[in-house]
Amino acid sequence: MIPAAFDYVRPADLDEVLGILRDRQGEAKLLSGGYSLLPLLKLRLAQPELLVDLRDVGGLDGIVHTDDDIRIGGRVTHKRIQEDEGLARSLPIMREAAVGIGDPQVRNWGTIGGSVAHADPSSDWPAVLLALGASVVLRSAGGERVMPVRGFFLDTFVTQIEPTEVLTEVRIPHPARNGGGAYKKLERRAGDFSTVGVAVQLALSDDGRIASIGIGLTAVADAPFAATEAEKVLTDARPGNEVIQEAAAMASKQSKPVTDSHGPADYKRAMVAEMTTRAIRAALQRAGA
């Protein structure tokens, strides 16, 4: 399969990228790892006039723990997230999600910024970032804005990113004390896109209640979303089978899966409940419940 013709540039730094995006609004598409974009180009589902390769752009590849939050550069690969010991200690959910993405070659090249900006409705990072209450940093020639991921994913392949902006960084709040998280992905074959993916990050209060919880779902709607009704059920609740099942049912109800090669919609709704249950239980266990 051969993509439609396009021009290609590989700017040396971010300022040059932002200038090009400003001057060629709507014509340019950013290329990071390429493992999502190239297949789309080959299927001619995307036919940009200009590809702007971020490969030489420095300063987007850090994993930094600041006083405020944890900052992951947009060009950080899935492999680096998988191998980062600091992240694995503070947010085990990150490694758990990273190792399930594609295969080793995909993880070698694919980046978190590329994946989030691409917003495939079945990709893993959006669900995880929704559960974590993360934000994304969007930079343009005119400045920078920080936007919570809740509200960022609008539709299939559609986000709040403007054509002039680059997603430069993902910011994740430090996990709360007595925190725990888990990502549970149901896939037909190892390395496939999710049939259902559920991310949970929660924190327990000293008296054993669920002080806070984020639940992100992927592959079961036009865009990844937060299971807000399930979160409401569990917030301030004492963990137990009944309330977990109630929350799982709410998550299932809030999902809008479609019948496709991964299975019928009814099956997927049932699996949302099951995977939500498993993710909540695993997160509780990691939180020390």
7 binds another protein (CB under 8 A): yes
Closest distance of CB 16 from another protein, Å: 17
Which residues 165-204 are close enough to bind another protein by CB under 8 A? 190-191
What is the enclosing helix (H) or strand (E) of 179? strand 179-186
Closest distance of CB 36 from another protein, Å: 9
**The one among 90, 108, 160, 245 contacting another protein by CB under 8 A:** 108
Distance CA(132)–CA(175), nearest Å, equals 8
Q: Which residues make beta-bridge pairs with 28?
A: 50
Which residues 63-102 are close enough to bind another protein by CB under 8 A? 102
Distance CA(143)–CA(133), nearest Å, equals 23
Which residue lies nearer to another protein by CB, 99 or 243?
99
What strand order describes the sheet that includes 196-204? 179-186, 196-204, 210-218, 225-226
267 binds another protein (CB under 8 A): no
Distance CA(213)–CA(181), nearest Å, equals 9
Distance CA(134)–CA(53), nearest Å, equals 26
Q: Report helix, strand or coil for 280.
A: helix
**Could you tell me which stretch among 33-41, 129-137, 156-164, 243-251 binds another protein (CB under 8 A)?**
33-41
Q: Which residues make beta-bridge pairs with 29?
A: 51
Give the closest residue to 204 by CA, choosing from 172, 247, 239, 170. 239
Q: Which residues make beta-bridge pairs with 182?
A: 200
Give the closest residue to 34 by CA, choosing from 135, 111, 124. 111
Which residue lies nearer to another protein by CB, 32 or 135?
32
**The one among 21, 35, 138, 215 contacting another protein by CB under 8 A:** 35
Tokens describing residue 207: 């008296």
**The one among 3, 133, 163, 263 contacting another protein by CB under 8 A:** 3
Closest distance of CB 8 from another protein, Å: 4
Distance CA(49)–CA(159), nearest Å, equals 20
Distance CA(278)–CA(140), nearest Å, equals 40
Which residue lies nearer to another protein by CB, 192 or 229?
192
Closest distance of CB 48 from another protein, Å: 11
Full 3-state SS string of 138-194: EEECCEEEEEECCCCEEECCEECCCCCCEEEEEEEECCCCCEEEEEEEECCCCCCCC
10 binds another protein (CB under 8 A): yes
Which residue lies nearer to another protein by CB, 86 or 191?
191
Binding mask 135-154 for another protein (x = CB under 8 A): --------------------
45 binds another protein (CB under 8 A): no
Closest distance of CB 162 from another protein, Å: 25
Closest distance of CB 6 from another protein, Å: 6
User: For binding to another protein (CB under 8 A), which residues are involved?
Assistant: 1-8, 10, 31, 34-35, 38-39, 41-42, 51, 53, 55, 102-106, 108-109, 190-191
